Structure 1
Amino acid sequence: MGNCLKRNQTLLQQNQQCPKCQMVFQAQSSAVQYQQHVSNCRVRQIQNPAPQLRNIQVGDVVIQPNHHANLNPNPNPRTYPHFIQEDFQNRKQKYYWCKELLPGSKIKYKWNKRLSPAMPAGNVSEMLALPWVQIKNSEFPIKQTWFRLQLEKKRISWQQGAETLSVNKESFLMTTLNMYQEINWHKEVKVHIDGDKVLDAGGLLREWANLIMKEIIHPESGMFQLADCEDVSYKINCEADTDEHIIDCFKLLGIVVGKCIFERIPLNVYFDRSIIKHIIGQPIFLEDIYYYDLQLYQSWDFLVNNKFEADDISEYFVVYRKSKRDYYELKQGGQNIQLDMDNCQEYVNLCIEYYTYISIKPFLTAFLSTLYSIIPKQLLSLLEPLELEMILYGTPFIDINDWRDNTDYKGAYYRTHQTIQWFWEILEQMDQFNLTKFLQFCTGSTRTPVEGFRKLESNRGNCSKFCIESVPFTKANPYPKAHTCFNRLELPIYETREDIEQHLKAVIQADMDGQFGME
Structure 2
Amino acid sequence: SSQHSQVKDSSQPLGGGGEGEVTLRYERDLVHKLKLLRHELSLQQPQAGHCRIEVSRDEIFEESYRQIMKMRPKDLKKRLMVKFRGEEGLDYGGVAREWLYLLCHEMLNPYYGLFQYSTDNIYTLQINPDSSINPDHLSYFHFVGRVMGLAVFHSHYINGGFTLPFYKQLLGKPIMLQDLETTDPELHKSLNDISAFGKFLQHELKPNGQNLPVTVPVCYTCLLYLSVIPVCYTCLLYLSLIIGGLGKIDLADWKSNTRLKHCAVDSNVVCWFWEAVESFTEERRGRLLQFVTGSTRVPLQGFKALQGSTGSAGPRLFTIHLIEANTDNLPKAHTCFNRIDIPPYESYEKLYEKLLTAVEETCGFAVE
Give the match for residue 108 of structure 2.
Answer: 217
Question: Retained in 1: the 8 A contact 2:88–2:366?
Answer: no
Aligned ranges for residues 296-311 of structure 1 at < 5 Å? 296-303=187-194, 306=195, 308-310=197-199
Q: 1:219 to 1:140 in 2, by over 3 A?
A: closer
Same amino acid, percent of matched pairs: 27
Deviation at residue 117 of structure 1 after TM alignment: 8.4
Aligned ranges for residues 336-355 of structure 1 at < 5 Å? none
Give the match for residue 359 of structure 2.
Answer: 508
Q: Partners in 1 of 2:24 and 2:184 — Cα distance? A: 35
Select 1:182's aligned residue among 36, 61, 71.
Answer: 71
Alignment pair present for 1:143 and 2:18:
no
Q: Partners in 2 of 1:442 and 1:383 — Cα distance? A: 31
Give the match for residue 46 of structure 2.
Answer: 156
For residue 233 of structure 1, give the secondary structure of its aligned residue in structure 2.
strand
Deviations 1:469-516 (CA, angstroms, capped at 9, x unpaired): 1223425x5211111111011111111111111112223333x6xx44
TM-score (norm 2): 0.83
Question: Retained in 1: the 8 A contact 2:88–2:365?
Answer: no
Give the match for residue 332 of structure 1.
Answer: 207
Deviation at residue 450 of structure 1 after TM alignment: 2.2
Q: Which has the higher helix share?
A: 2
Question: Retained in 2: the 8 A contact 1:482–1:518?
Answer: no
Deviation at residue 457 of structure 1 after TM alignment: 0.8
Q: Partners in 2 of 1:491 and 1:111 — Cα distance? A: 39
Alignment pair present for 1:401 and 2:257:
no
Deviations 1:346-386 (CA, angstroms, capped at 9, x unpaired): 7xx99xx98xx76xx12112222x332xx24xx24533212
Aligned ranges for residues 316-395 of structure 1 at < 5 Å? 317=203, 330-332=205-207, 361-368=217-224, 370-372=225-227, 375-376=228-229, 379-380=230-231, 382-395=233-246
Q: CA RMSD in A?
A: 3.4
Give the match for residue 456 of structure 1.
Answer: 306
Q: Partners in 2 of 1:429 and 1:118 — Cα distance? A: 30
Deviation at residue 230 of structure 1 after TM alignment: 5.5
Structure 2 segments unaligned to the other structure (5+ residues): 4-12, 14-18
Q: 1:249 to 1:117 in 2, by over 3 A?
A: closer
Q: Partners in 2 of 1:114 and 1:265 — Cα distance? A: 25
Q: 1:443 to 1:252 in 2, by over 3 A?
A: same
What code does the residue aligned with 1:397 have? K
Q: Partners in 1 of 2:20 and 2:154 — Cα distance? A: 24
Q: 1:381 to 1:227 in 2, by over 3 A?
A: farther
Give the match for residue 95 of structure 2.
Answer: 204
Give the match for residue 166 of structure 2.
Answer: 275
Select 1:474's aligned residue among 320, 326, 334.
Answer: 326
Deviations 1:47-85 (CA, angstroms, capped at 9, x unpaired): xxxxxxxxxxxxxxxxxxxxxxxxxxxxxxxxxxxxxxx
Give the match for residue 430 of structure 1.
Answer: 280
Question: Retained in 2: the 8 A contact 1:116–1:141?
Answer: no
Q: Partners in 1 of 2:366 and 2:174 — Cα distance? A: 43
For residue 119 of structure 2, give the secondary structure of its aligned residue in structure 1.
coil
Deviations 1:435-471 (CA, angstroms, capped at 9, x unpaired): 1111111111112112111000114323111111122
Deviation at residue 408 of structure 1 after TM alignment: 1.2
Question: Retained in 1: the 8 A contact 2:333–2:340?
Answer: yes
